[in-house]
Amino acid sequence: MSLLFAVAVLGYLLGAIPFGYLVARARGVNIFEVGSKNPGATNVRRVLGSGAGNLVFALDVLKGALAASWALHAHSSVTLNAAAFGFPGLGTVEVAGTSWYPLGVAGLFGALLGHSFSCFTKFRGGKGVATGAGGVLVLVPFAGFIGAVVWLATFYATRYVSLASMLAALSLPLSTWALGRPGWLAGVTVLIALFVIYRHRENCRRLLSGTENRFTKKKAAVPPSPPPRKPA
């Protein structure tokens, strides 16, 4: 239990790194004061362009992936250290044949909470989609791939980032179950889906009322034509 707690705390601190805020701040923008005032990759992209938005997205995905995958190293280290002191079974937590999965789940949930309620930005944060995706790609890779396909199909069909994110999250429990993964792991993806939907509750209201903004590319500004020269 102490190891699970430690992994969750580390996951929280990792998830709490506010990459959206930091990338925007490096360009002289307080992301909490512009656009949707959300530090996620979508708002950064809307305000600062695709380069900054894609960078934030990649970093947020990396947070979730590291928070989940670091548990493998943690489990191996604890097992080896315990064996060195004459307790070979002390570091092993077997669950359905995947001893490190509980630690990966703890790390991912810590990262989701850290990203959404960062202690570095007065407990403000993003909605957890990119960070959750990174962790899911580690824990249930094929389900994460299916979720990505659902996201892309929904986004390009509707141009609603929020709807694409929620449908992708909802696909995770279904695909995890269909892939024959353990029931408890499907339950974990249900919790992830509910968390993502809860973080999008305002978007849900706007979608239902028809006031949600679609994601559109900004048109490049056309420079004004120079005034005609006066005849000499």
Concatenating the DSSP letter of every residue in 90-136 gives TT---STT-TTHHHHHHHHHHHHHHHHSBGGGTTB---SHHHHHHHH
Is it the case that residue 22 has pLDDT exceeding 90? yes
Question: Looking at the domain assignment, is residue 184 inside a domain?
Answer: yes
Asked whether residue 122 falls in the same domain as residue 145, the answer is no
H/E stretch holding 66 reads: helix 50-84
pLDDT of residue 223: 42
Q: Are 177 and 146 in contact (CB under 8 A)?
A: no
**In a shared domain, residues 120 and 145:** no
Which tens digits make up the pLDDT trace of 132-179? Answer: 999 999 999 999 999 999 999 999 999 999 999 999 999 999 999 998
Tally of structural domains, the chain = 2
Backbone angles phi, psi at 215, to 5 degrees: -85, 120
**Same-domain check for residues 50 and 3:** yes
DSSP 8-state secondary structure symbol assigned to residue 33: G
Supply the pLDDT for residue 73. 61
- The arithmetic mean of pLDDT across residues 82-86, rounded, is 41
Verdict on whether the full-model pTM lies above 0.85:
no
pLDDT digits (tens, 9 = 90+) for 87-119: 344 344 343 334 567 888 999 999 999 999 999
pLDDT at residue 77, as a whole number = 52
Structural domain range at position 71: 1-126
